[in-house]
Amino acid sequence: MEPPSQNLKTAPLLSLRRFHISEDYGFLLPNPLKELPDQFRPWMEIANELPHLIESRQLQARVNKMPLLSCQGLQSYREQRLAHLVLSFITMGYVWQEGQTQPKEVLPRNLALPFVEVSRNLGLPPILAHADLVLTNWTTRNPERSLEIRNLDIIVSLPGGESLRGFILVTVLVEKAAVPGIMALVQAVNAILQHSDNSLLRALQQLRLSIQDITRTLGQMHNYVDPDIFYAVIRIFLSGWKDNPAMPVGLTYEGVSTEPLKYSGGSAAQSTVLHAFDEFLGICHSKESADFLHRMREYMPPSHKAFIEEIHSAPSLRDHILSSGNDQLLTAYNQCVEALVELRSYHITVVTKYLITAATKAKGRKPNHLPGPSQALEERGTGGTVVLSFLKSVRDKTLEAILHQSD
C-alpha cells in the first residue's frame, strides 16, 4: 500500500520493490527458469548430466570439447541467472572432479569467458554462490500447491543424490520462512520513520515469529540430509579457491586473467537474511567476523546488498527504543535478539553434526571411489572460515545486543 504523500516529504519510506525483493518469495528468485534458449543447449546438456559426468570422471573431457558461446543471446534477467547457475555448477564439477588432492587450477576459456561475462552482467562473482545454489535452483512440481519439500525440486544437481537435493531445498524453505521477517523489517523501519510505536511493536513481534520459524525449518536438515554424504561427497563441490589450502594460489580463468583469481566457496553467510536482521537489530560483530561477513556481501545480487546498506542507513532501532522509554518495545526487541541467538545456537549444533562429527567418523573409514575432503579443510566452512569459532563469536555478539532500560 502506498504511504500518504505527506510522509514522503519528511523521509522516503522503505519498499521491497525497489530492491527486487519479492513479497511472496523474499530473496528467492520467483519462478526460476529451467531451460535456456536453444543456442545454449551444449551447456544444458552437460548440466543435466553433471552427477554422472563427475562420478564417471568424464566431465573435464566433455567441457574441453564444449563450444565457446557468447552470453549476448541471453535476453532476460532470469535467463542470465540460470546461465550463471549452470556455468557455476559446471565449474565446480570441473575443478573438483578428481578430488581435493588434484583440483584443476586452470578453467578453460570456453567455460571461463562466458562465466565471467554473465557474472559481470549480474554483478556476481564467477563461482558457485548461495544466489545460484539456492536462490535460483528451485522449482515447484505443482505450482498450485504450497512450497513444501515434497512439492519442490532442484534444477541443476551435483553428486550427493537425495542428500544434496535435501540440503538445497531445506535452505530454500529457510529463505521462504524468512519472508514474513523481511516484511516485518520493512514495516518496522517505516514505523520508526512515521513515529508509530504500535506498528513497530507489531512488526517486532512478527520478526520474532519469523526467526523462530527459520529455526524450526532448519531442523528439517536432519530429515533430508545424511551427514556422512554431506561431509564426504557434497562439501567439496561447494568449496572455493580463497582461504583453501587445497588451492592456495587460486584458479586461473583462461582468457580472462593471466594471474589466478581467488573466490570463496558457497556459505550460509552469503544469504542476505541474517545480514538484514543484524543491521536492523544493531548487532555488532567482532572485527574478524564482520570483515568476513562484509566480504560475503560481494557474493549477493547487487540489489540485495543494497537492501542491507539501506537498512544500515535507516534510523537506529535501538536508539529509538531507548529514547521512547516504551517497555513493550524493549521487551519485543529483546525477544527478537533472543530468537536470533537461539537460531545461531541451533545452527552451531547442525554444523557440528554435519562437519565436526562427520569429520571424526570419516577418519575411521577407508577411502571410497568418491573424492573425499582433505584434512586441511576439516574445520573450515566452505566459505573458508574456521567455522565453529566464527559461528560462536557471531552468536555471542548477538547475545550482547540485549537491551536494559538503563542503557
- 84 marked as binding residue: no
Residue recorded with cell 584458479: 251
Sign of CA dihedral 11, 17, 18, 19: positive
Q: Please state the φ and ψ torsions of residue 380, each to the nearest 5 degrees.
A: -100, 145
Q: Give the burial string for 329-364 (b: 16+ CB within 10 Å, else e).
A: bbebbbbbbbbbbebbbbbbebbebbbeebbeebee
Backbone φ/ψ region at 99: left (φ over 0), alpha (ψ -120 to 50), beta: left
Beta-carbon count within 10 A of 392 CB: 14
User: Across the strands, what pairs with 107?
Assistant: 253
What are the CA-CA distances from residue 319 to residues 199, 323, 343 (Å)? 17, 6, 24
How many angstroms separate the CA atoms of 197 and 326, rounded?
9
Known binding-site residues for heme b equal 347
